[in-house]
Amino acid sequence: MELNTIYILIAAFLIDLIIGDPRSIPHLIVGYGYLIAFGEKKWNHPKFQFLKGVLLTISLVIAAFSIPYFAINYCNKNDWVIIKLILSTILLFYCLANKTLVTEGKSVFKILKNKGLEEGRKRLSWIVGRDTTNLNAQQIRIATLETMSENLSDGVIAPLFYFACLGVPGAMAYKMINTLDSMVGYRNEKYEFFGKFAANLDDVVNFIPSRITALLMLLVTFKLKGISFVFYEGKKHSSPNAGYPEAALAYILSCKFGGPNFYKGKLLDKPFIGTNDRLIRHEEIFKVARINYRTSFLAVIIILLIIYWLQC
C-alpha cells in the first residue's frame, strides 16, 4: 500500500465525522440508487428474472469498481498526486456513514421524547424497513438501536474493510452491492428472483465485516467475555450477518432485541436476541453513539497500523 493511503483514510474519515451526509450536496450513493432503479425498471419482468438480476448486479458492481480504479490509475500515470488524493478522499468519504447513522439515531430518540409517539414513529420510518405505525416507545427505541448496530457494519466497518483490502475501488464496489441489496434484495413476489443474486452476494461480502464489527464493539466496551454470547445469539437472526453486531449491542446493554415485526403489512416472526427484556431509557442513545464512534476509531487505527507495518 502507498503511504498516501494513510492520508486518504484519515481525511475521508474526518470529513465524515465533521459533515456527515449534508442533504444539500449530491451524494454518489444516491446516484447508485438511480442506476439500480433504472435497471430494475427495464429488466425486472417475469421472463428470465433471475438471470437479468444477475446481469444487472454484476455489471453495476464491475462498473463501481472499474471506474474509480481506472480514474485513480490515470492520475498515477500522469503524476497527478493532488488530484488523486482529492478524488480518492471524496470517493471514500461517500462510502462512510457513521455521523449520519448516529445523528439519525439520536433524532429518533429526541423526537420521541419531545414530540411524542406519533412523531417518533414517523421519524423512525426514515431509517428502518419495518412498519412503524403501531410501535410503542420501547419498540421504537429497540428498532433504532438495532439499525444503529447493524448499519455500523454496513455503513462504516465493511467499507473500511474493503478499502483496506482493495483500496477505494473495493469500498465503492461494496457500496454498490449493499445498495443493490437494500433496493432489490427482498423476498417478495416482485424481487424474489430478480434480487436473489444481489441479496446472496451482500450476505457473502458482509460475512467477515459483520463479525469484525461485533468483536470491535466488545473490545471498545471491554466486554470480550461476551464473544460466546454474540456467536450464539447472532446466528438466531434471519440474516446470516446482521445478528452479530445486534447481539454485541444486546450484550453490552444487557437488553433484548428482535422479535416479531410487520414488514409491508406482513408479520415476520423473528427470533429474539438476548434475554433481558428491560426498558430502554432515553439517555442510552448517547452510550450507543459513543460505542459507534469508538468502534469506528478502533477500526481506522487498526487499518493505519497495518498500512504502517506494510510500509516498514
| Distance of alpha carbon 182 from alpha carbon 21, whole angstroms | 18
Q: How far is residue 264 from each of residues 132, 187, 240, measured CA to CA in Å?
A: 10, 12, 22
CA–CA distance, 286 with 110 (Å, rounded to integer): 11
Please give the average per-residue pLDDT across 139-150, as a whole number: 96
pLDDT tens sequence across 286-297 = 999 999 999 999
Find the range with the poorest average confidence among 20-29, 90-99, 244-253, 298-307. Answer: 20-29
In the predicted structure, residue 237 carries a pLDDT above the cut 80:
yes
Checking if the pLDDT of 263 tops 80, the result is no
pLDDT range class, residue 214, cuts 50, 70, 90: very high
- Tell me the per-residue pLDDT of 12-54, one tens digit each, with 9 for 90 and over: 999 999 998 877 677 888 999 999 999 999 999 989 999 999 9
The pTM (predicted TM-score) of the whole model is 0.94
The two most distant CA atoms of the chain are separated, in Å, by 60
- For residue 150, count CB atoms less than 10 angstroms from its CB and return exposed for 0-12, middle for 13-18, buried for 19 or more: buried
Q: Output the pLDDT for position 198.
A: 97
pLDDT digits (tens, 9 = 90+) for 155-207: 999 999 999 999 999 999 999 999 999 999 888 888 899 999 999 999 999 99
Please compute the mean of the pLDDT values over residues 145-162 and round it to a whole number.
97
Hey, is 121 helix, strand or coil?
helix
Question: What percent of the chain clears pLDDT 90, i.e. is strictly above it?
Answer: 81
Q: Which three cell numbers stand for residue 126?
A: 426514515
Of 103, 101, 102, 94, the C-alpha closest to 13 is 94
